[in-house]
Amino acid sequence: MRLRLVKDETSFDFFSRWKLWLGISAVMMVVAFGSFMVQGLNFGIDFRGGTTIRTESPRPVDIGEYRGAIDPLELGDITITEIFDPTFGPDENVAMIRIQAQDDQEAVSAELITAVQEALRTVRPDIEFVSVESVGPKVSGELIQTAVIAVALAIAAVLVYIWLRFEWQFALGAVLALVHDVVLTIGVFSEIQIRFDLAIIAALLTIVGYSLNDTVVVFDRVRENLRKYKKRPLKEVLNLSINETLSRTIMTSLTTLLALVSLYVLGGDVIRGFVFAMIWGVIVGTYSSIFVASAILLYLGVKRDWSKPDANAGTQFSNVDA
């Protein structure tokens, strides 16, 4: 007996209020953009600048112990990570401590670095400080620019890919859905003021790929059904296609969310921001594949060109749900 979250054949009408769904998405994007303009993002050390202290100890790294020693100094955003390397010996336990710049200074002052070192020595007298490096505002500005370019290029590549594989209406629907996902993710980070660092940029690029995969599966089925049901209105074809891929969409999203929620609960503070971005991205990505990308395709319409020599070209895998 198999567990079924969705019946094999469903007949939900996803487009009875498609204008309402597009309106809700537009409002959420405006709110997200407004929050970004008013509050901005809580940039981490990667984008704000700061100082990195590399430590080494013969005893295993205890991140909680390190953080408990440093927190009374009230230095703001502090990230502590253990460095693993197969070349390290049993007495080489290395940690990386990253401290944000204080009061818009280029780096943490020498006095504060000394205070951090003394605080750590109170809990680890045998600790050694291997190196101290600073990230200035110029480098941070370059990282922000590079991150924006990376996300923009990813979305542009998606536009070209979908345009070549399908038609321009499909490409525009998919890209607007991706922009929707990225804007809402940045907006929720602005609203909640969760630390925004390079790991979140990696999450954004992963969200783009995840959402695109879901959208392409739906669009493949739409293209197949457009050729199969030549007389049906586009709205009916879209509804049929989404219902046929609904089981795959829900199962993929739920299994991904199960892993992500486990990481969020058990993974610790270091990756919590990244995992939160992924959880949010999976939710909005699944939503946008159905209620944004497909609704935009319904609005734009699509040309049914039956003059091609092979009407089934490019659809040989369209009946595969994986």
pLDDT beyond 90 at 30 = yes
Q: How confident is the model at residue 184 (pLDDT cuts 50, 70, 90)?
A: very high
User: In this predicted model, what pLDDT tens digit does every residue of 211-237 receive, in sequence order?
Assistant: 888 888 888 888 888 888 878 888 888
Per-chain mean pLDDT for the chain: 80
pLDDT tens per residue, range 268-280: 666 788 899 999 9
Strand residues in the chain grouped as ranges (E):
42-43, 50-57, 78-83, 93-100, 128-135, 195-196
Q: What is the pLDDT of residues 52-88, one digit of tens each?
A: 888 888 888 888 888 888 888 877 777 888 877 677 7
pLDDT digits (tens, 9 = 90+) for 290-321: 888 888 888 888 766 544 544 444 333 334 34
SS3 label, residue 229:
coil
**198 vs 253, higher pLDDT:** 253
pLDDT at 134: 73
User: Other C-beta atoms within 10 Å of 173: how many?
Assistant: 27
How much is the pTM? Answer: 0.72
Residue range 181-194: average pLDDT? 89
Residue type, position 189, single letter: F
Cα Rg for the chain, rounded, in angstroms? 25
**Cα(54)–Cα(93) distance, integer angstroms:** 11
Phi, psi dihedral angles at 143 (to 5 degrees): -65, -40
Q: How far apart are CA 40 and CA 93, in angstroms?
A: 37
Go through the domains of the chain in sequence order and give each one's CATH number.
18-42+140-300 (1.20.1640.10), 50-135 (3.30.70.3220)
DSSP states of 199-222 as a string? HHHHHHHHHHHHHHHHHHHHHHHH
pLDDT band for 200, please (50, 70, 90 cuts). confident
Over residues 118-124, the mean pLDDT reads: 88
Q: Is the pLDDT of residue 31 over 90?
A: yes
Mean pLDDT for 29-44 is 87
Answer for the pair 242, 294: CB distance below 8 angstroms, yes or no.
yes
**DSSP code for 6:** S
DSSP codes of every residue in 9-55:
S----TTTTHHHHHHHHHHHHHHHHHHHHHT--EE-HHHH-EEEEEE
Amino acid at 154: A
pLDDT in tens, 123-167: 888 888 888 877 665 566 677 788 788 888 888 887 887 787 777
CA nearest to 315, candidates 234, 204, 224? 224
Report the pLDDT averaged over residues 257-278.
Answer: 84
- The predicted pLDDT at position 321 comes to 41
Sign for the CA dihedral angle at 212, 214, 216, 219 comes to negative
pLDDT of residue 140: 61
Nearest-angstrom CA–CA distance, 317 and 319 = 6
